[in-house]
Amino acid sequence: MQYIKTIAAALCVAVHTSPLSADMSWDGFYMGVSLDAARTNASIAGTTTHSRKSESASVGAYAGFNRTTQKGLVWGGEIGPSSIESAPNLSGGGLCTSQFSGKVLITPRLRAGFATGNLFLYGTAGLAITDAVVRPASSTDKDYAIGVTYGVGAELGLGNNWFTRLDLTRTDSGQSAQIFNGQTRDTIVKMDRITLGLTKKF
């Protein structure tokens, strides 16, 4: 994903060229839209024939609420859905055909960090709820997986309650004891995401 460096460079330029605001407020409710670049590794544990790696871009949205302390600590909760791209079916290893498919990833999470001027640097952690799982291709069940998401990010105040952000996160949402052609295997689903967002605070 070569555009990752371009996005990161653009944020660095914005930080250095945007005027600082001593009275920048991070408190309150906000909503935003995002562009997500994802690299996904979805596989069945113990086999290489059912390992798929893919790169994709998708759009998402989010909403949350921040609180700020007098010492510059900013913390709050956020939830947001984003779309997921399915990967090709794979066969072999005596496990018949497996698929990785789904449509949505929902991440209720916490953010906490420190703000100085118009720049907010934070860590984030929470849950990852998704219908994108590794399953037998013949399965008609609608499975959901609950995993974890964690990472770091930076948010930049643009003025008039508008903000932009860059998130670097990892999502782990594999499942244990899944049945493939009569064999019990764990599945591994790891997604590394870079998210560029535009936020409006109300």
CATH code of the domain containing 183: 2.40.160.20
- Give CA–CA dist 110/125, Å, rounded: 6
| pLDDT of 71 | 84
| pLDDT of 78 | 98
Radius of gyration for the alpha carbons in the chain, expressed in angstroms and rounded = 19
| pLDDT of 65 | 97
Mean pLDDT, each 10-residue run in order, the chain (202 residues): 48 45 74 95 87 89 94 94 82 83 92 94 97 85 89 95 96 87 89 96 94
Q: Is 201 helix (H, G, I), strand (E, B) or coil?
A: strand
Smallest Cα–Cα separation from 130: which of 167, 80, 178, 176? Answer: 80
Residue ranges making up the domain that contains 85: 3-19+27-201
- Give CA–CA dist 85/73, Å, rounded: 36
| pLDDT of 23 | 47
| pLDDT of 62 | 97
Smallest Cα–Cα separation from 106: which of 183, 171, 199, 194? Answer: 171
Tokens for 160, please give them. Answer: 């008039």
| pLDDT of 24 | 61
Task: Look at the chain and report how many structural domains it folds into.
Answer: 1
| pLDDT of 52 | 86
- Those residues with Cβ within 8 angstroms of residue 71's Cβ, 6 or more apart along the chain or in another chain: none
Decide: 188 and 200 in contact? Cβ < 8 Å: no
pLDDT digits (tens, 9 = 90+) for 149-191: 999 999 999 999 999 999 999 999 988 878 888 888 899 999 9
